[in-house]
Chains A and B, each alone.
Chain A
Amino acid sequence: MTLDPNVFLAIVAMAAATVLTRIAGLVLIRFIAIGPQQKRALEAIPPAVLMAVIAPTALATGPAETLATLATAIAATRLPLLAAVAIGVFVVAIGRAMIGG
Chain B
Amino acid sequence: MAPLTTAVVPIGLVFGAVAAAKGLSSLEAAMMSALVFAGGSQFVAMDIWMHPASWSALAFSALLVNIRHVLMGASIGMRMPAFSGPAKCAAVLLLADEIWAMAELRAGQTRLTPAWYAGLAIPFYCVWVLTSLAGSLVGAFLGDPKAIGLDFAFPAVFTVLVMSFWKGRETGAVLAASAAAAVLVYQLLPGVWYIAAGAAAGVVATLTRGRQREASA
Give A contacts to B, CB under 8 Å: 1-4, 6-26, 28-29, 34, 37, 39-60, 65, 68-69, 72-73, 76-77, 81-82, 84-85, 88-93, 96
A55→B70 contact, CB < 8 A: no
State which size class the interface on B falls in: 35 or more
In the assembled complex, B199 has its CB within 8 A of some CB on chain A: yes
In the assembled complex, B55 has its CB within 8 A of some CB on chain A: yes
Distance of A53 Cα from B28 Cα, bound (Å): 23
| Inter-chain contacts of B182 with A (CB < 8 A) | 51-53, 55-56
Identity of the chain B residue whose Cβ is nearest the Cβ of A95 in the assembled complex: B149
> Which residues of chain B from 1 to 31 have any CB-CB distance to chain A below 8 Å in the complex?
7, 10-11, 24-28, 31
B150→A51 contact, CB < 8 A: no
Chain B binding surface SS class: helix
Distance of A26 Cα from B68 Cα, bound (Å): 13
Distance of A1 Cα from B26 Cα, bound (Å): 6
**Also in contact, A88 and B152, with CB within 8 A (given A1-B27, A14-B41):** yes
**Also in contact, A47 and B148, with CB within 8 A (given A13-B56, A19-B93, A52-B182):** no
**Also in contact, A25 and B70, with CB within 8 A (given A10-B54, A14-B45, A76-B164):** yes
